[in-house]
């Protein structure tokens, strides 16, 4: 490029457009990955641009790759021990991409109608995605309790699915999967296993090391952790699945922006520290709630009475996640309880460094029918708490005063 040599002869209008751009990068390496906002990238000659397209290396157009986004993908791939990862503009976009890649015939890149066996207790929007974007277009979608090994084996034999989809810790009832057993079952029937690991994060479990094929994260949640950036990411166990994700991502175009990528990668730097505090806070909140007369039932894998406690203790290294769900004894008291909280924020998300409260029937599972919610065990009185990193004494005091309002009413 010869702009520098020609700049002296440029008119003012031309200088205002081009001056300062396309300067050489610094010789020193920046400590933090810069935010690359350019949508396109230049090569010295047309032949070099053509060679870059042929090799597939380098950057051309932001839908085909961005250095800031690539840094986030590399960070997650390393955290998950993956062959590669691909980032998307939201967690739902990432889940959609994972299902398409998993249902793509091995060695090919075009998605095809397929059969999916899904966990019965999925996040509400995931169920809607399966019904409206897969089943409605000819895919066979069936549901089963994947925590039940016998029922899973029977469903695998009956439906012969191409893809099995589940959450490592379910939202919001916090069922825990035996991933090692499920991997063994899926392999015996030739099904690819896709796991949404948003709630566990790689801090608690790395599913690819157990043989899971694709791991999905809503990066908006724990990975980012600050409530300021939306995104999703899929990590692949094999090179074939990673290539499939890359190729399909370029066509689908649900690209993560560089600003969001930088914020999500920055959030990952403190993920382990945040999860330690969030898990510790959740354990103490769950223990407190079990003692309160206004609470009918508490769902938390860290409690000895939880059906997945022993499995979770072995799988997660003695930590049990940052979510606690519980049933109020009187469901009609739920609005008073939520409105009385002062420190827990009523937000329809989870995984932030702030503590949050949500009502699944009105938020995460609102799109399901009352019958579907009942089938999944989601009652009108179910409350979900996402623990943040605040001092535990302040969190317990907030819960205590909100529950006291119910006793006084």
* For the chain, percent of residues with pLDDT exceeding 70: 97
pLDDT score, position 53: 87
Using the predicted structure, report yes or no on whether residue 201 has a pLDDT greater than 70: yes
Q: What is the pLDDT of residues 289-338, one digit of tens each?
A: 999 999 999 999 999 999 999 999 999 999 999 999 999 999 888 999 99
Residue 1 pLDDT grade (very low, low, confident, very high; cuts 50, 70, 90): very low
pLDDT score, position 2: 47
Number of domains in the chain: 2
pLDDT score, position 379: 82
Residue 339 pLDDT grade (very low, low, confident, very high; cuts 50, 70, 90): very high
Using the predicted structure, report yes or no on whether residue 5 has a pLDDT greater than 70: no
Angle (CA) 30 35 38, round 5°:
120
Mean pLDDT for 273-295 is 97
**Cβ-contact 52, 60 below 8 angstroms:** yes
Q: In this structure, are 252 and 281 located in the same domain?
A: no
**Whole-angstrom Cα distance, residue 184 to residue 141?**
21
Q: In this structure, are 342 and 353 located in the same domain?
A: yes
Q: In this structure, are 160 and 227 located in the same domain?
A: yes
Question: What's the mean per-residue pLDDT of the chain?
Answer: 93
pLDDT score, position 111: 57
Q: Which of 240, 268, 296 is the last residue of a domain?
A: 268
Name the residue range of residue 287's domain.
271-408
Residue 11, exposed/middle/buried by CB under 10 A (0-12, 13-18, 19+)? exposed
pLDDT score, position 120: 92
pLDDT score, position 107: 64
pLDDT score, position 314: 96
Q: Which of 45-49, 237-241, 328-332, 370-374 has the lowest mean pLDDT?
A: 370-374
**Tokens at residue 141, please?**
């979608």
- Residue 176 belongs to a domain: yes
**Whole-angstrom Cα distance, residue 135 to residue 114?**
9
Is 250 considered catalytic here? Answer: no
- Residue 76 belongs to a domain: yes
Catalytic residue among 88, 123, 143, 288: 123
128-137, 223-232, 359-368 — which one is most confidently predicted on average?
223-232
Using the predicted structure, report yes or no on whether residue 392 has a pLDDT greater than 60: yes
Q: In this structure, are 151 and 282 located in the same domain?
A: no
pLDDT score, position 4: 52
Catalytic residue among 121, 178, 192, 196: 196
Q: In this structure, are 93 and 236 located in the same domain?
A: yes
Q: What is the pLDDT of residues 58-71, one digit of tens each?
A: 898 999 999 999 99
Helix (H) or strand (E) holding 163: strand 163-167
Is 196 considered catalytic here? Answer: yes
Catalytic residue among 206, 221, 319, 384: 221
Catalytic residue among 63, 181, 250, 277: 63
Is 88 considered catalytic here? Answer: no
Q: What is the pLDDT of residues 95-147, one digit of tens each?
A: 999 999 999 987 666 655 589 999 999 998 999 999 999 998 899 999 999 99
CATH of the domain at 62: 3.40.640.10
pLDDT score, position 164: 98
Using the predicted structure, report yes or no on whether residue 220 has a pLDDT greater than 70: yes
- Residue 194 belongs to a domain: yes
Q: Which of 42-46, 150-154, 319-323 has the lowest mean pLDDT?
A: 42-46
Q: Do the strands 232-236 and 84-88 form a parallel or antiparallel pair, or are they unpaired? A: antiparallel
- Residue 2 belongs to a domain: no
CATH of the domain at 306: 3.90.1150.10
Q: In this structure, are 260 and 310 located in the same domain?
A: no
pLDDT score, position 391: 98
Is 123 considered catalytic here? Answer: yes
């Amino acid at each position: 490029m010869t702009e520098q040599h020609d700049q002296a002869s440029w008119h003012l209008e031309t200088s205002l457009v081009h001056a300062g751009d396309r300067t050489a990068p610094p010789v020193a390496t920046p400590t933090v990955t810069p935010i690359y906002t350019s949508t396109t990238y230049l090569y010295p000659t047309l032949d070099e641009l053509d060679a870059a397209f042929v090799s597939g290396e380098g950057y051309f157009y932001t839908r085909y790759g961005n250095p800031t986004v690539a840094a986030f993908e590399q960070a997650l791939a390393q955290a998950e021990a993956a062959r590669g990862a691909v980032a998307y503009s939201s967690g739902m976009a990432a889940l959609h991409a994972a299902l398409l890649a998993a249902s793509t015939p091995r060695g090919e890149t075009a998605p095809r109608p397929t059969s999916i066996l899904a966990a019965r207790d999925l996040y509400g929007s995931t169920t809607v995605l399966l019904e409206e974007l897969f089943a409605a277009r000819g895919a066979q979608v069936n549901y089963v309790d994947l925590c039940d090994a016998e029922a899973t084996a029977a469903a695998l034999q009956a439906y012969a699915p191409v893809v099995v989809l589940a959450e490592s810790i379910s939202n919001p009832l916090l069922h825990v999967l035996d991933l090692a057993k499920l991997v063994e079952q899926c392999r015996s029937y030739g099904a690819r296993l896709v796991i949404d690991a948003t709630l566990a994060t790689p801090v608690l479990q790395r599913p690819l090391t157990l043989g899971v094929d694709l791991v999905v994260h809503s990066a908006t949640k724990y990975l980012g952790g600050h409530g300021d950036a939306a995104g999703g990411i899929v990590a692949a166990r094999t090179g074939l699945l990673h290539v499939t994700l890359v190729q399909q991502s370029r066509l689908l175009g649900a690209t993560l922006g560089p600003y969001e990528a930088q914020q999500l990668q920055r959030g990952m730097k403190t993920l382990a520290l945040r999860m330690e505090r969030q898990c510790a806070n959740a354990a103490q909140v769950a223990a407190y709630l079990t003692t309160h007369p206004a609470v009918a039932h508490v769902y938390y894998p860290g409690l000895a009475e939880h059906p997945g406690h022993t499995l979770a203790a072995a799988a997660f290294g003695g930590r049990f996640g940052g979510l606690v769900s519980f049933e109020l004894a009187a469901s009609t008291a739920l609005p008073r309880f939520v409105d009385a909280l002062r420190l827990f924020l009523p937000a329809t998300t989870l995984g932030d460094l702030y503590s949050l409260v949500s009502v699944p029937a009105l938020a995460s599972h609102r799109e399901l029918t009352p019958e579907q919610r009942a089938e999944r065990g989601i009652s009108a009185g179910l409350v979900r708490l996402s623990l943040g990193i605040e001092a535990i004494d302040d969190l317990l005091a907030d819960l205590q005063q909100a529950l006291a309002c119910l006793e006084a009413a």
